[in-house]
Structure 1
């Protein structure tokens, strides 16, 4: 492009119009007409003008505005209240969270310890207190246990945050449909909430606050709306504090599973005799099934019922995918069964008695876990229980409420078995072997003859069985009579005891001195207030079966007293050295060995040819004594072989007289049946007895003693006592001479 003078022309942009000029120009331009196909907009009606049907006027608009106001107000209140409740809930959860200790501190929350009782072979046979064995990690229990508990109690356990609104709603619906209140019956609680309840929402037991531990536990289990709210808050705090497995471990340790078992490890040992880590699906299901009602479903109470409940749990496990169809079918085909120790469930009376012999702070009220080593022989215990059961079923009328008790011990007083009543599978029941003080009847007579034999007389010494009366100061005339109402004239001591004659027993007791008889009986272990009159010789005093059996053990062992005992040793679980040793056994000598051996011979004749013939054991030598009290309110048979002493008592708890029963009847038959079972397989051993010789018969005749003028009556005619060759008179003279006195 060229230019004049060689200069490049200056380029300039067109002038832009100002905004005002553009507006002015636009205003002067002619308006364009609207397209023909577009509709002309109708002028708007004023909001405030016009008549009905407008948005801003009329009743519909007013209702709309009112409804909107209410909704807005409710929404405003709702979110404000929700925020407030949320803040309060968060504070409450954080408060409980701050109070929760480490999970390991919540594993054992018992206020009492446990007591495990071992028999003479150190095998467990009973438990007392709250049996416990801790689980500290979830891998210490079988997956079968964990899965069974989750399937049964809370299938959403691993998915919720401590509470389950769906579960609560479902539980309320079920309760209402079944005619109960919303909170009665099904609770809809999660496993975490159940754990919170087991922890009593963090409130520990305080003896100053609660009258009893039972009252404290009842309060923990109360169901109220306020408590359910606290439970939910506590559960959420636990979910924040602990892992799911830690919560489950706490639950598995604290849950009560019947039969004094606290926690799944203790229950596994109690029912199956194996650790919880070894439980198969059937066993795990049975334990999980106990959670619904531990006492009702305890397999030791009703095994069939426990197995039925376990079948339901197995189905739940299968439905939720925890076990295969093959495992389900196998569990149904092979249900869990009890261990031998749990199955036998013997020795309840013995266990209670042993617990009472130890100090309470180490037995019934112990806060430690204690092991008691005892003298019980489970084979002998089962034999005694079986003998009583079988004889009663065969011989007693249906519906009879007669009771019986049995004690079996060794000659040193070590109790091997104890049955305190017809119901044998018990705990805390009335023990008729140790608690019932009953008149002993003629079973007391061996102590009368023990006094005479210890003074030097033999079984062949004689005494006259005749009508006989004694003036008892303060009581009047006392005239003993024989059970048969007959008199036998002069009889030897062995015959008097063999036939259980009353008159000779009273005569001998009077002659040797009632105080002497009383002392011998007391020294042998009959630790009661003994009668002071002549009725002492006929068993008017009261005693317990365990005391009488212990006294007979003294006769068997050669005349030394024994203190019946069942405790060999007491230890704190885990300690190597015992806190207590044996309390019982041999005591002081009461009568001479020769007197004891003579007495054993005399008592052997009771079984061989006397009132106790129903107790014969075939070729095995045995000795014993029958006893029947006035009106047959009590019937006894106590006897022994060279191996064991066994005592049997029978009667009614309310002292109702027995019908047609004497000590030589049913008690002797129970004794015989028990002893046959006890000695099954044992070699025959001779009794430690001494047989009298012909020389004893000659020297037994005593010179006539005329000093005693007690009256006697025969057919209403008063006579002088016949004292020629009378042992009672001879012994009385010897005793009086010994103390330098005479009538």
Structure 2
């Protein structure tokens, strides 16, 4: 019966194979099995090809990976060590590395904490953890479309590969490269070598790379002395260094360290009793030094590296002009003397422009805005430095008499802070007591453009207007620029360019930059610099800047703006120039804030310390005037009279002079002789180009400003020589500048 069934069924099978559509390839059970077998073979072949490709990629990567010793030396980013003027390293920027610790030197609790929380199966996988990958894949599927990142897949080896060779971008291509490199690292190095590299290179926040740097940063001691509680805190930082930093969020760090301890118990590294005995809350953190005021200086100086050296990644040593003792004194003076609720700034320059101290605010941690180099504020009467220098250059002398009286210029009527007018006084007194009306009259006479030109010469780069009120400091300036201008006066009229970097080398001492010597440019004649120094010294000795006295010669100027919004004092002594500014960031009025009070006091408190070891230097205020200012009459243009009353030219030759008219007898001045001119003011101005020659070359003008004294004529000895013309005096109205 079995045969019959078989024989009878055979034709059916045959016929069905022909026409029923249930044979191979028809999609029936046997066809499905065939396709599954084919897919399996293709998948196996592709997997084999993939394994070969991965093996080749891993082999190539392993060959390119540097040796263990080379990886120990390579930093994870550029480091910059900043040196003070005495060579002391006062700031390290970029990655911060402690001492390299071998695995034998690293406490076992630190090793166990890191392995437990970051990669529990570290000792058993080949660099990539299939269990972790599966967990990450499930997470990715469950949270598809939510934008959340894949979590929990990276092993310690993968993190090491990412830290050394790759970026932190979340892309599939980067993840694939990370896996290849991880397998290569496991192929090339032992587990202990990988763990040692990881512990010394992983980032723990606060700029610290490696457990030793982290331990010193947070606990103040080497990682070799690390306790279980400290290890739990440090191991918890790797997941999110900024979020779990004990200095940023103590509660978050404490909670994370508890998770680490629980994980260590679960992994079997410690007992529950040991975990209970650990007290992360009792961990003593290192005293937080904070960002001191020297960061104002480095924030200003270090960006200049881009212009001084070529871009690079190697470690740098930057040598600066900062004097740490002066910086401490400057910080103390600003913090002690600046009124409550007010900001202060200070810049101190040596005679060549080297920045010895810079304070940009009362607290860098609270506000890193550098008011010494970035803020633009009105200088008030400190601007009169340029007004009086322009006046001296135009021919005024420090003892010239001027009148303090009401004045109106183009509808503007300045007032003195005293509310009174003192009448006649010397230029020196007017400057010492910062008389506004005198400054306004000087600016109007010499020309406001002349004042602006003087400020530009002395390094003021901010916009300057030429409105009459500009003489009282209505233009906004920077503290560092004003300080440099006063430093140029201290340097006897030679320009000063502030600088902070003297030398840059690589970590191994290779010189990349050396500041060249700079002689500076002459901005004004030395007699102008001597004259303004005389005025500045008087302002401190007897005028508005008396609070800036320090027991040795000081020259300086106060500045106070309307409604006491800004207070300034700028001055110099013993080759050191310092500018101090105080005011509110919102430019609101501050009651009692005047340049001669808090700013001058801060200047004095700082300078007493800053110049203590410098020799006392008297100021050179001896004014050696040019010829055209030496005498009150115009004989100085032609040389000194001889003993017999005659005059000589520049070569000592006698000059024949006509007899003076006898005005008492009604004589009229004769016309100029054919062989020489009449020595009067008109002729002098014509010869020196101050006025065009008269068409007919006739006699003196109707109202000559001044007639030369003419002594009795001497016998003629030679034809009239070409007379020496005096230097041209600057135009009083500022034209031509």
TM-score computed with the length of structure 1 as normaliser: 0.65
1:395 corresponds in structure 2 to 340
Partner Cα distance (2:256, 2:357) in 1: 34
Would you say 1:358 and 2:305 are equivalent positions? yes
Equivalent position to 1:381, from 310, 322, 327: 327
What residue is the counterpart of 1:738 in the other structure? 728
1:93 aligns with 2:27: no
Alpha carbons of structure 1 residues 439 and 455: separation in structure 2 relative to 1, 3 Å: same
- After superposition, where does 1:576-587 map in structure 2 within 5 Å? 578-582=511-515, 587=520
- Aligned-partner Cα distance in 2 for 1:602–1:197: 66
Matches within 5 A, 1:330-729: 335-337=284-286, 343-360=290-307, 362=309, 365-385=311-331, 387-389=333-335, 395-396=340-341, 404-421=344-361, 424-425=364-365, 430-451=369-390, 459-470=398-409, 479-509=413-443, 517=451, 520-527=454-461, 530-532=464-466, 535-556=469-490, 559-575=493-509, 578-582=511-515, 587-588=520-521, 590=523, 599-600=532-533, 602-603=535-536, 606=539, 610-612=543-545, 615-616=547-548, 623-629=555-561, 634-642=566-574, 644-651=576-583, 657-660=587-590, 664=594, 668-669=597-598, 672-673=601-602, 675-676=604-605, 679=608, 683=612, 688-689=618-619
Of the two, which has the highest radius of gyration? 1
Q: 1:216-249, CA deviations, whole angstroms, 9 ceiling, x for partnerless residues? A: x4xx43166x865664455334323433244345
- SS of equivalent to 1:580: strand
Instruction: Give CA-to-partner distance per residue, 1:497-546, whole Å, 9 cap, x none.
Output: 23322221233345566676556544544355654565553334443211
Q: Tell me by how many angstroms 1:347 deviates.
A: 1.9
RMSD: 5.5
**CA shift at 1:372, angstroms?**
0.6
How far apart in 2 are the matches of 1:610 and 1:172? 80
Deviation at 1:90, TM superposition (A): 1.8
Q: Deviations over 1:683-703 (max 9, x none)?
A: 49867347999xxxxx99989
The CA deviation string for residues 644-664 of structure 1, in whole angstroms up to 9 with x for no partner, is 5332334566xx542245761
Report how far residue 175 of structure 1 moved.
9.3
**Post-superposition offset of 1:97:** 0.4
Distance 1:177 1:596, change over 3 A: same
Match of 1:222 in 2: 170
Return the offset for 1:370. Answer: 1.4
Counterpart residue number, 1:712: none
**1:102 and 2:65 are equivalent in the alignment:** yes
Ranges in structure 2 where 5+ consecutive residues have no aligned partner = 6-28, 624-628, 634-680, 683-704, 706-724
Shift in alpha-carbon separation, 1:272–1:601, aligned structure 2, 3 A: farther
> 2:501·2:515 contact (CA, 8 Å) conserved in 1?
yes
Mapped partners of 2:363, 2:45: distance in 1? 62
Deviation string 1:3-32 (CA, Å, 9 cap, x unpaired) is xxxxxxxxxxxxxxxxxxxxxxxxxxxxxx
Contact kept, 8 Å, 1:459 with 1:598, in 2: the verdict is: yes
Q: Distance in 2 between matches of 1:327 and 1:556?
A: 69
Q: Note the C-alpha offset of 1:46.
A: 9.1
Which stretch of structure 1 is more off in the superposition, 180-189 or 287-296?
180-189
Would the alpha carbon gap of residues 306 and 567 (structure 1) be closer, same or farther in structure 2, given more than 3 Å must change? Answer: farther
Q: Say which SS state the counterpart of residue 551 (structure 1) adopts.
A: helix
Do the aligned partners of residues 280 and 309 (structure 1) sit closer, same or farther apart at CA in structure 2, a change above 3 Å counting? same
Q: Is the 8 A contact 1:349 1:426 kept in 2?
A: no
Cα separation, 1, equivalents of 2:253 and 2:533: 53
Of stretches 69-78 and 375-384 in structure 1, the one that deviates more from structure 2 is 69-78
Displacement of 1:134 after TM fit? 9.9
Cα pair distance change 1:477/1:378, threshold 3 Å: same
Query: Cα offset for 1:71?
Result: 13
CA distance in 1 between partners of 2:185 and 2:437 (Å): 80
Encode CA deviations 1:583-630: one digit per residue, 9 max, x unaligned: 5776355567776566456445545664456x5567677553232446
Q: CA deviation at 1:116?
A: 1.8
Residue 638 of structure 1: CA displacement? 2.4
CA separation of 1:690 and 1:284: change in aligned 2, threshold 3 A: farther
Shift of 1:356: 3.1
C-alpha distance in structure 1 between counterparts of 2:509 and 2:150, whole Å: 45
Does residue 247 of the first structure (1) align with residue 210 of the second (2)? no
Aligned ranges 1:200-211 → 2 under 5 Å:
none
| Residues in 1 aligned to 2:106 and 2:426: alpha-carbon distance in whole angstroms | 72
Matches within 5 A, 1:16-415: 83-84=44-45, 86-100=47-61, 101-104=64-67, 113-129=78-94, 146=111, 148-168=113-133, 184=149, 186-198=151-163, 217=167, 220-222=168-170, 231-232=178-179, 234-248=181-195, 250-252=197-199, 255-261=202-208, 288-297=235-244, 302=248, 304=250, 308=254, 312=258, 315=261, 319=265, 321=269, 335-337=284-286, 343-360=290-307, 362=309, 365-385=311-331, 387-389=333-335, 395-396=340-341, 404-415=344-355
Deviation at 1:446, TM superposition (A): 2.3
Q: Tell me how far apart the structure 1 counterparts of residues 113 and 190 of structure 2 sit (CA, whole Å).
A: 19
Q: Report what 2:700 is aligned to.
A: none
Maintained 8 Å contact 1:192/1:235: yes
Q: Does the CA contact (< 8 Å) of 1:565 and 1:585 recur in 2?
A: no
> 1:728 maps to what in 2?
none
Measured in 1, the distance between the counterparts of 2:258 and 2:726 equals 82
Distance 1:624 1:295, change over 3 A: farther
| Alpha-carbon distance between aligned partners in 1 of 2:517 and 2:214, rounded to the nearest angstrom | 33
Give me the whole-angstrom Cα distance separating, in 1, the residues matched to 2:324 and 2:230.
26
Contact 2:580 2:602 in 1 (8 A): no
Counterpart contact for 1:524–1:561, Cα < 8 Å: yes
C-alpha distance in 2 between matches for 1:611 and 1:272? 51
Looking at structure 1, the residues matched to 217 and 343 of structure 2 have their Cα atoms a distance apart, in angstroms, of 30
Contact 2:82 2:90 in 1 (8 A): yes
Unpaired segments of 5 or more residues in structure 1?
1-44, 50-67, 202-216, 397-401, 471-475, 694-698, 708-723, 725-734
Please say which of residues 105-114 and 377-386 is displaced more in the overlay: 105-114
305 and 387 in structure 1: CA distance in 2 versus 1, 3 angstrom threshold: farther
Name the structure 1 match of 2:652.
none
**RCO higher in 1 or 2 (8 Å CA, sep ≥ 6)?**
1
